Copies of this chain bind each other. A is one copy, B any other.
Amino acid sequence: AVEDPGYPPPRLVLAARGVRVAPVPVDASGIVVRAIPAGTRLVYVTPSHQYPLGLSMSLERRLELLDWAERNDAVLVEDDYDTEFRYTGRPLEPLHSLDSRGRVVYVGSFSKVLSPALRLGFLIAPPSLVPALVKARYLTDWHAPNVEQAALAAFMAEGGFARHVRRMRKVYRERHELLTRSLASFADFLTPLPSSAGLHLSAVASSDCGPLVRAARRHGVRLYSLGDFGVGARRHGLVFGYGAVAAERIEPGLARLRALADGGAA
């Protein structure tokens, strides 16, 4: 089972392997556990920063999901892809820390915190799954690029990684705040969703944003329609990524988007 709306690749990878994948709705507290179909063996979730909605799974829901996994002999894959950059509040305990029964595979990535060009990530798995994961790794790409692994290890040991996270947190927080403020001028059709971490912000809309997204792309403003991440009931809205957009380019981009939304050429 996967979150709906959710990050498309896990659903596509599982489906390409012939696995039956159930999209499960997400509410303000996270994946709706009672909607997970009977017989589900694995649930892929993004508890700390739901992709694409940006919400955090509540502690109550985390515990409910762990209980469900234990009762159903299932595995939870917790993708914690971008919470190094947290702007407000304290993070909740990850499922992996709350789990005492070996139900959680915790997945982390350096794609967001450093660069997708690195192709580095990691996972923490319960011992029972390690032999299968080792085999799967052998059959996909065998091993990680050693040069980057060594460079990253040295960067961490020297304290450079922690410094980078601290420095970039300020940069991204500035963009996050600027974007949130600027979205006020879209209050006629956009409602930003609360988000306290990461590199994207989502907003729900009263109508389909697909045409607006396509028009914006033609005018050099790249954003995503929330509808593209849904499988069942598609939500209307927009997803704004700001990991690669300098602060000074946020307002001009939104001004162009405003003009397009008003039906004018930008």
Contact = CB atoms under 8 A, between A and B. Distances in A.
Nearest to A151: B147
Contact of A117 (B12, B17, B147): B147
Interface of A: 9, 12-13, 16-18, 116-119, 138-148
A13 B142 CA distance: 11
A141 B200 CA distance: 22
B139 A119 contact: no
B144 A13 contact: no
17 contacts: A9-B138, A9-B139, A9-B142, A12-B139, A13-B139, A16-B139, A116-B142, A117-B146, A117-B147, A118-B147, A119-B119, A119-B141, A119-B144, A140-B140, A141-B141, A145-B148, A147-B148
Contacts of A118: 145, 147
Contacts of A141: 119, 140-141
A193 B148 CA distance: 38
Contacts of A143: 116, 119
Interface of A is mostly: helix
Contacts of A18: 18
Contacts of A119: 119, 141, 143-145
A142 B132 CA distance: 22
A8 to B, nearest CB: 10
Nearest to A150: B117
Contacts of A9: 138-139, 142
A117 to B, nearest CB: 4
A140 B144 CA distance: 13
A131 B265 CA distance: 34
A24 to B, nearest CB: 21
